[in-house]
Structure formats: structure tokens, C-alpha cells
Amino acid sequence: MSVRRRNNVVVTGRDDGTTLLLAHGFGCDQNLWRLVVPPLGERYRVVLFDHTGSGRSDTSAWTEERYRGLDGYAEDVLTICHELDLRDVVLVGHSVSAMIAVLAANREPDRFAKLVLLTPSPCYLDDGDYRGGFSRADIDELLEALESNYLGWSAAMAPVIMGNPERPELGEELTNSFCRTDPEIARVFARATFLSDNRADLAKVSVPTLVVQCAHDAIAPRAVGRFTHERIAGSELVTLDATGHCPQLSAPEATAAAITAFVGGP
């Protein structure tokens, strides 16, 4: 099976521009990038895809063994780069895909020109002095609720993740995105997301990196963004005047501007 079909790869924007590869987060698909694609596409070549098991990917390619951790997703990112012969790529990872991007770039740093980590969290669990934002009991409760009633969990959690209660249509969109995901696949991806610990991987990043966080984010607090920035040598940190965990939807202009300012070039 070709990776283009497996991961529903879409290429848009300028053929002669720097290549941006956009990787979506848990429960989402490439559609959540739609508001930042037009401004980015005016300047760059934009490559979109759906993680295996998400969106319009070929779910027959999904196996629990391969995707119970984030390594399988990182391998998929590299396979996309290989098959499309993408080089000097700017890899933009949202939420859990920020850590997927870190893993991919650490394996093949020469493949990537820059990384953009959008609302990243290397570890959601509090651990000693590290404040990930969730206790183990919080995570266990979250996963138990997801596994027992996925649709109910989606309806309850999506507005919390999205924030912006004055704009309920954003939470509704994320709820619908969650509900399009197979519950079994979502269960495995959720465990890979919320139980992973990639803090040690941050120090291995050798690619120029931008960390983008929101001023108010219930899923990835500002302390987490600061931790990520401090652990990646030479990285830049931008805090958007935005609320929620998905600024590509809630603050697309500011998100696109932050990416463009960091990437530069044609």
C-alpha cells in the first residue's frame, strides 16, 4: 500500500516553496489545519496527512502492536518523507504530534530543516517537581471514561480541550472529529498520548525548534511549554494570546504568523 493512500496525503501551496509537513493531534485529522493552510500555502509547499487510524487514512493498516506507542507514528512520518522525497522539511506537530515530530527528527535530523511544536507536552503526568498538569488519578479517570463511553467522553472533553466557551462551534467541531474516530483506535491512541513520557528526548533535538503555546491551555499549561523550550537547546518560545489547546482553529491568524516568522524564506 502506498503511503499516500494509507495516510491520505494531500499536497498544496507553492511548488517552489519550503515544505511544511503538518501533523495533527489525537482525535483529529488534517481538516483541523484548514484555517492556517491558505495563508501558509501562499508562501510554502504544504503537505497534509492523516495519522494511520485517523481521518480518511486506511484504517486497515492500523494495528495495536504498531501504534500502542508513539514510535509507530514517528516511523510513518519518516515514511511519508521518504516516499515523497521530502527534504529540508519544516515539521509542524500539534499536541501529541509535537512529540511524534521530536522522535522523527531525532531519528533523521538531516531530513528536517526546522521543527514547530504547537501546544506540546512531553509528559502529561505530574512527576516530582515536574508539573505536567495531571495526576495519575486524573489520567486513569480520563482513560476509564473514554473506554467505557467514548461518545460521552468526546462530548464532555472536546469543549475542555478546545476552550473558548463563548465559541461553542469550536468545541462541537472537535467533538465531531473525535466521534469519527473508531473507539478502539482512539483508546489505544489515547493511552499512547497521555501515558507517554518524552522528556528525555527533548535534549536530543538538534534541529532549530519553535515552541508555540497558548496563554491559557487546560491540557498543556504554560509551565509545560516553558519546560519544553528550556530542554531543547537554542529553541524559541512564543506564547500566543489565545485560549485552548487548538490555536490553529481558535487563533489561526496568530498561529500562521508565528510559523511564518520562524520559517521565513520563500
Rg over CA atoms, the chain? 17
Q: Does 121 participate in catalysis according to the annotation?
A: no
Catalytic residue among 54, 95, 97, 196: 95
Q: Does 82 participate in catalysis according to the annotation?
A: no
**How many Å apart are CA 210 and CA 117, to the nearest integer?**
6
C-alpha cell at 128: 516530582
262: Cβ contacts below 8 Å, ≥ 6 apart: 114, 116, 210, 236, 238
**How many Å apart are CA 33 and CA 265, to the nearest integer?**
21
C-alpha cell at 152: 460521552
C-alpha cell at 163: 476552550
Catalytic residue among 50, 76, 201, 217: 217
The angle at the Cα of 133, spanning 208 to 125, to the nearest 5 degrees, equals 85
In Å, how far from its chain's centre is CA 73? Answer: 11
Q: Confirm if 117 and 110 have CB atoms less than 8 A apart.
A: no
Q: Confirm if 24 and 94 have CB atoms less than 8 A apart.
A: yes
Catalytic residue among 24, 51, 229, 245: 245
In Å, how far from its chain's centre is CA 42? Answer: 22
For residue 63, give Cα distances in angstroms to 25, 60, 165, 184: 18, 8, 36, 10
Q: Does 110 participate in catalysis according to the annotation?
A: no
Residues recognised as catalytic: 95, 217, 245
